Structure 1
Amino acid sequence: MDRAIKVLFFALLVKPIVLLLLGLNVRGRNNLPDSGPAIVIANHNSHLDTLVLLSLFPLSMIHKVRPVAAADYFLGNGGLLAWVALKCIGIIPLDRSGGADRETLFSGCTQALNTGEILVLFPEGSRGKPEQLSRLKKGVYYLIKERGDIPVVPAMLHGLGRALPKGEALLVPFNCDVVIGENLTDRESAAGFMNSATESFKQLSAYCLTLPAAEADDVAV
């Protein structure tokens, strides 16, 4: 039942909005994983980020793509938002309170990877300033450090922070970019992996049509 709800939600609502209202420039779409276990990591400026990334996957596999999202924000008050997050988007809730050990914190993610699902993670941890890259956190490294078979694919997003800024509910049509890179293979250490991810985001930003070249060179961390 949940699978049908998610497919209908994306087929009838999300994909039409993303494809018709946003001027979406997509590059490297063929780099998206076509099966799991796998992880897509992306920068995070807007609630649209998750919906746009999931809309790039075929409907036939959308139920296997699971965004990792803050439990306190999406589930804290229950109600419609929690229902949409769990049933329509299929989030894996992450406890940001700091009270859980690492194994417990990532147990939902580990279980999803073990059952062949594709995770969508935002390693900045939360939405940062519009169109600026914040320092990446190491959580994704702990998920893959003993699983070299799991691809980690970076996706650079630009423009979505203007189309739906933080704290706003009204979608404003803008041209936006999604540039998807290749699997990150530097996994010798947490520092090496995070540096590789950061450098990849910087390189991908150079292909964003909505980002002036001078700004792409100065993507901040």
Structure 2
Amino acid sequence: MDRIIKLLFFALLVKPVVLLLLGLNIRGRNNLPKKGPAIVIANHNSHLDTLVLLSLFPLSQIHRVRPVAAADYFLQNGGLLAWIALKCIGIIPLDRSGGADREVLFSGCNRALENNEILVLFPEGSRGRPEQMSRLKKGVYFLIKERPEVPVIPVMLHGLGRSLPKGEALFVPFNCDVVIGENLTERDSAAGFINSAGACFKELSEYCLTLNHRE
């Protein structure tokens, strides 16, 4: 049932809104993983980030794409938001309180990878200021350090922070960029992986048409 709910949610609502109301400039779409286990990492400025990323996958695959999201935000008060997050988007809740050890913290992510699913993660940890990247955290590295076969695909998003900024509820159509890179192969250390990912995001940003046009 959950699979059908998610399929209908994206087929009837998300994909039409994203593809018709947002002008997406997509580059490197062929780099998206065709199957799991795999991880997609992206910068994070807006709640639209998750919906746009999932909308890039074919409907036949979308039930296997699992965004990792903050439990304290989406599940804290239950109700409609929690139902949409769990049933329609299929999030893997992540405890950001700091009280869980690493094994427990990433247990849902590890199960998803073992189940050949595709994780969507935002290594900044939370939404930052529109179109500005924050310091990347090490969580992704702890998921992949013993999984060299799992590809990590970086995606640079630009413009979505203006379409739906943090703290705003009004959606404003804008042209937006989605630039998809190739697998990050640096796995020797957490610092090395973070530096490689940061450099890759910076390189991908050079292909953002809206960024270059604004400047």
1:79 counterpart = 2:75: no
Number of positions where the alignment pairs a residue of Structure 1 with one of Structure 2: 215
Contact 1:206/1:213, CA 8 A, preserved across alignment: no
Tell me how far 1:96 sits from its aligned partner. Answer: 0.4
Tell me how far 1:168 sits from its aligned partner. Answer: 0.9
State the superposition RMSD in angstroms. 0.9
TM-score normalised by length of structure 2? 0.99
Q: Deviations over 1:7-40 (max 9, x none)?
A: 0000000000000000100000000000000000
In structure 2, what is the Cα distance between the partners aligned to 1:193 and 1:126? Answer: 19
Report the 3-state secondary structure (helix = DSSP H, G, I; strand = E; otherwise coil) of the residue aligned with 2:60: helix
* Residue matched to 2:23: 23
Higher mean alpha-carbon deviation, 163-172 vs 49-58, is at: 163-172
TM-score normalised by length of structure 1? 0.96
* Residue matched to 2:184: 184
* Residue matched to 1:110: 110
In structure 2, what is the Cα distance between the partners aligned to 1:6 and 1:128? Answer: 27
Higher mean alpha-carbon deviation, 47-56 vs 167-176, is at: 167-176
Which runs of structure 2 are paired with 1:1-221 in the superposition (5 Å)? Answer: 1-212=1-212
Tell me how far 1:170 sits from its aligned partner. Answer: 1.2
Tell me how far 1:142 sits from its aligned partner. Answer: 0.2
Q: 5+ residue gaps in structure 1?
A: 216-221
Distance change (3 Å), C-alpha of 1:214 and 1:103: same
In structure 2, what is the Cα distance between the partners aligned to 1:63 and 1:94? Answer: 19
In structure 2, what is the Cα distance between the partners aligned to 1:174 and 1:73? Answer: 26
Q: 5+ residue gaps in structure 2?
A: none
Distance change (3 Å), C-alpha of 1:10 and 1:120: same
In structure 1, what is the Cα distance between the partners aligned to 2:7 and 2:195? Answer: 36
In structure 1, what is the Cα distance between the partners aligned to 2:22 and 2:32? Answer: 20
In structure 2, what is the Cα distance between the partners aligned to 1:14 and 1:80? Answer: 17
Tell me how far 1:214 sits from its aligned partner. Answer: 9.1
Contact 1:22/1:173, CA 8 A, preserved across alignment: yes
Q: Deviations over 1:37-69 (max 9, x none)?
A: 000000000000000000000000000000000
- The residue type paired with residue 202 of structure 1 is K
Runs of 4+ aligned residues of structure 1 deviating over 6 Å after TM superposition are none
Tell me how far 1:212 sits from its aligned partner. Answer: 2.2
In structure 2, what is the Cα distance between the partners aligned to 1:149 and 1:24? Answer: 31
Q: Deviations over 1:149-207 (max 9, x none)?
A: 00000000000000001111111000000000000001011111110000000000000
- The residue type paired with residue 72 of structure 1 is D
* Residue matched to 1:218: none
Report the 3-state secondary structure (helix = DSSP H, G, I; strand = E; otherwise coil) of the residue aligned with 2:112: helix
Residue identity (%)? 83
Report the 3-state secondary structure (helix = DSSP H, G, I; strand = E; otherwise coil) of the residue aligned with 1:142: helix
In structure 2, what is the Cα distance between the partners aligned to 1:133 and 1:165? Answer: 14
Q: Deviations over 1:106-140 (max 9, x none)?
A: 00000000000000000000000110011100000
In structure 1, what is the Cα distance between the partners aligned to 2:136 and 2:213? Answer: 22
